[in-house]
Every structure is written in structure tokens, then in C-alpha cells.
Chains A and B, each alone.
Chain A
Amino acid sequence: MSPAPAPAPLDLTPAPAAAPLSRMVRAQAAFELRGMLRNGEQLLLTMIIPVLLLMLFSTTRLLDLGPGEPVDFLTPGVLALAVMSTAFTGQAIATGFERRYGALKRLGATPLPRSGLIAAKTLAVLAVEAVQTVLICAVALALGWQPRGGPGGALAVVLLVLAGTAAFSGFGLLMAGTLRAEATLAAANLVYLLLLALGGVVFPLSSFPGAVAAVLELLPISALAEGLREVLRHGASLPVGSLVVLLVWAAVGLGLSACFFKWE
């Protein structure tokens, strides 16, 4: 065995100063992103389940998805599911455990401000959503998906996804910041399943009774799925109704979580 190298000299002289905010946020966002892409359970929710649902129901006739190609109905719904899985489910569970293990408290003692932490988390969520979108679109195109909407539609899709991300993040953080980590884990997965079943993701809302469907349409997942469907399947320019529903959810969720989030 070679002798241990002499300890490197460290200049411990105090030289305190915060890094520029942009550098702090970039570093934290990259850290969060690596954490999300390393987490097997999260990848199952965010990548594998959406892609499997898309492949299963596009290539079979297990569900009555109405006239037209199943993949054209399913792809917008699965994109909405992907946004929910990352912004809501994944973020709620990860943040809940960070809070439980004191990671948020510890970050509170560093120069990274809370607003910077939220910005970093949002950037990481958007980056994962970008990966999901590329993956799901590639699979969908391979299955014969023919998106409509053109360049104007792409802008509408971006707006809907941003509004949906804000809405889901607000409630994900609310849950993570108020419940115990174990309760967040259970509740976030339950909500994921319920909204997957009830939110027009793979089961059309038209298969519910009219009064029920009218209520379900107001869920954030339904608004996002229906909005994306309007653009990508029917070529609408901007589904204002869906966008407004998402923005209301976003305002309520972010407002509540700003009021009630406990950092430790």
C-alpha cells in the first residue's frame, strides 16, 4: 500500500460571500434533476407507466375511445399524465422526504434563498417534463400519431403545460409542506391513480354520466388533457377554457402552499 498523501493545504481564512443567485439556482436545479433521474420509483411513475399506457391502449381495442385513431386520443392524455406525475406526484414525495430529513432546513442555513430553491425545483421539473415529452412523442409517432395544430399549436401546448405545471406544483408542495412524509407518499400516489382514472387521461370523460363528467372536467388533469387534446387532435388555436381552469388551480394551490408550507 502506498503511503497516504499529505493532506492538501486548505486556506480556512474566512472569506464569506454568497455566489450570484443565478449560479446558486443552476447548481440546485442540476442537483434536483440528477436526483429525479436517479430515482427508480419516480421514473416508474414519470416515464414507464405513461409510455406503457400509451402503447397498451393504442395497439389494442381494450377501451372504446370513440371514432378515430386511439393514439390520437391517447397521446395528449398521456402527456397530461406525465406533467402531473412529475410536477405533482414526484415533487410532492421528494419534497416531503427532504423536509422530513431536514434537507430543507439545512438548505435554509445556506445563502440559497427559498425563492431560489423553488425556482430550482421548477426548472428541474420542467427539464424532466421536456425529457418525458420527447419520449412520449417519439413513441406516439412510432405508433402512427398524427398531431395537428402546427406552430401556433405548439405555443398553445407550451402555455397549457406551464399552467398545468404551476397548478400541480402548487398542490404537490402544499401536500409535502403540511403532511408527514409517509402520508404524502401514500396520498400523492392515491391522487395519481384517482386522477389517472377520472381525469380523461385514457378513459374518455364522455363515458361518465353527464353531471359527473361536468364536474370532472374541472379537475386540473382533465383541463390539461382536454386542452392538449383540443390542440393536438382537433387543431384548436388556444383552448381558453382549459387554460383558465388550470390558472385558477395554480393560483389556489400556490397561494395555499405559500401560506401553509412548513419548512421543518
Chain B
Amino acid sequence: MTPPRHAAVELDALVKRYGPRAAVDGISLRAERGAVTALLGPNGAGKTTTVEICEGYRRPDSGTVRVLGLDPVRDARELRPRVGVMPQSGGVPGTARAGEFLRLVAAFYAHPLDPAALLERLGLTAHARTPYRRLSGGQQQRLSLAAAVVGRPELVFLDEPTAGLDPQARHATWELVAGLRAAGAGVILTTHHMEEAERLSDQVVIVDQGRVVARGTPAELTGAERQLRFRARPGLGLDELLAALPVGSAAKESPAGHYLIEGDVQPELLATVTAWCASHGVLTEDLRIERRTLEDVFLELTGRELRP
């Protein structure tokens, strides 16, 4: 009989307060192995606090946390070899050389990846002898990622793994994450990067002000809903157009000359819009039908105002 396979992470009604403010205010979630779970949210939403509770750095004020079925604080010794951690920044002495640091971390594990091969995979071979403090921000990020995975963990926590990376480095990171997932490791990442969450994740958990405001696969979150956008001269009579469209449709102009039609976008709707434009002598430009993006969903849920 094989022992039961626990979820990668199980959080139930997790709460963490700093003074009167709850940084994490009742988060529950379940993340599987062999899957990528993205915690998506604005700054200060509680993503990093949640991850640090899972890593055993902080104790929750209430609620339960299980990582690979274990308690991250009580069972820290058993968990440490099994869990890889990439902090948001830093964590390496400034004078340590990149290759030297990765070999050090590799020496803590019984069956590590080959540090040289990992540096190569992340495009750091040319910087193996560069002191950490002379690496660019993106190179430091990749070294940190390498250190999180070199021990061949069952589960990795990546806190904003692609913040500040150029497109090549971002793709190298994404490929490594996809490789971990395919090899059966669980990946929990936090990100602001919508494309990252959309491309990489099996599950997206949108967090705002310490609470889960939505969760699902990227497709579930963006839904089947489509929208129609076009550009034309400003000031079209949208009320008149709306009257011609099916009930439940919405039309708006924002900014001037940019039009958005939402609702049940079917072939008839497209025909109605173009016919209406033709009858008013309006030539549309950039007419397109698209799905809502995760960014649309995110902004709808967390608001468009800048956070203080």
C-alpha cells in the first residue's frame, strides 16, 4: 500500500494580523502537485505573507496550513529538503560568486541537479564567476530561482519569479517552471504578471486585501465572454446603436474614438454593428472580437484605482 499523497499545499481559513491590520484575512486554498498555482493580486494583497507562512517563516494567527501534509513550523526539518524557496529578493552574500553560491546550495542535498547545467539552462554560465552584487537584477533573480530548484524539490515557492526580467530571461524561467510541473513537482508562484499567470498556471487564485476574490483555471476566470472593439470617429450615437443590439448588450466609448461592445457576441451582433455603421457612413478601423483577458478580470475584481 502506498502512503496517501497529500496535496502540495492546503490552507484553511488562514489569518495573519500585523497590529490591527489583517494581512491575510481567511485565505483557503488547495494546490496540487504536478500543477502550477498562481497567487495573483495587487501590492499588499497578502501574497508574500501567505507564501511565507507556507515556508514556515511566519506562524498564522489562526487557521491551518499543511505543506505536503506537514506543518511548516513543527515539521520544518522534514520539509526543508523537500521544498525549494525563491524569496522576492536578496538572500545571497554580496561577495559570493554566482557559481560558488549555487554549488554551495547543491551541496546541501543528496541528489542535486548539476549546478553547471542549471546555470547554462538559465543563461548564467558567463556570469558564474561574477560576485552576486555585480549581477543585474534579472541575473540575481535567475540565480535565486536556480538555488530554489537545485535540490530537486517536490514543491517550490517562487515569489515574483519574473519581476524585472527581460523577455528572454522570462521565457527561460517559464520553461523551467513548465519543466518542473511536467516532472511532477508542485509550483506555487506569486505574480502581478497577467500573461505569466495565464500561460503557466493550472489554477489562478486572485487575492485582494487578504482575501480570495476569485479562483479557477485561467479559462474559467476569463469565461466564454467575448467583446467587440473598434475605432471610429468620436461621438457616435451609441444609444441608437444599442437599441439595435440584443437586450443585455452594453456599449461605451472610452477613450474618445475607441468603442467597446460587450454582451453575447454572435455573428448577428457583428452584422448589426457593421450594418449600423454602414448606414451612418462610419468606417470602422481595428475592428476585432476578443475574449476577456485575465487582466480585465483582475481589474474588475480589484478595482482600477491606484493603491495607496
Contacts and interface: CB of A to CB of B under 8 A. Distances in A.
Interface in B147-196: 147, 149, 151-154, 176, 179-180, 182-185
Interface string A27-58: 11001001100110000000000000000000
B11 to A, nearest CB: 19
A109 B116 CA distance: 22
Interface in A2-36: 5, 7-19, 23-24, 26-28, 31, 34-35
A110 B85 CA distance: 8
Contact of A11 (B55, B83, B92, B113): B113
Interface string B62-98: 0000000000000001001111010101111111100
The bracket for how many chain A residues form the interface is 35 or more
B107 A18 contact: no
B113 A106 contact: no
B184 A98 contact: no
Contacts of B153: 14, 16
Contacts, number: 125
A102 interface: yes
B85 A24 contact: no
Contact of B120 (A8, A34, A101): A8
B96 A16 contact: no
A73 B202 CA distance: 73
B117 interface: yes
A144 interface: no
Contacts of A113: 77
B114 A8 contact: yes
Contacts of A26: 107
Nearest to A6: B120
B110 interface: yes
Provide the main secondary structure of the chain A interface: loop
Contacts of A38: 95
A102 B89 contact: yes
Contacts of B117: 8-10
B306 to A, nearest CB: 28
B264 interface: no
B91 A17 contact: no
B100 A27 contact: no
A103 interface: yes
Contact of A12 (B89, B95, B179): B179
A81 B172 CA distance: 50
A109 B183 CA distance: 22
Nearest to B104: A31
Contacts of B151: 16, 110-111
Given A10-B121, A35-B93, A16 B108 contact: no
A97 interface: yes
A112 B108 contact: yes
B91 A14 contact: no
Interface of B: 55, 57, 77, 80-83, 85, 87, 89-96, 100-101, 103-105, 107-111, 113-114, 116-118, 120-121, 147, 149, 151-154, 176, 179-180, 182-185
Given A11-B152, A18-B81, A97-B94, 7 more contacts: A11-B183, A14-B152, A14-B183, A18-B80, A18-B109, A35-B93, A101-B94
By Cβ-Cβ distance, the 4 closest A-B pairs, closest first, are: A106-B91, A27-B107, A17-B110, A8-B117
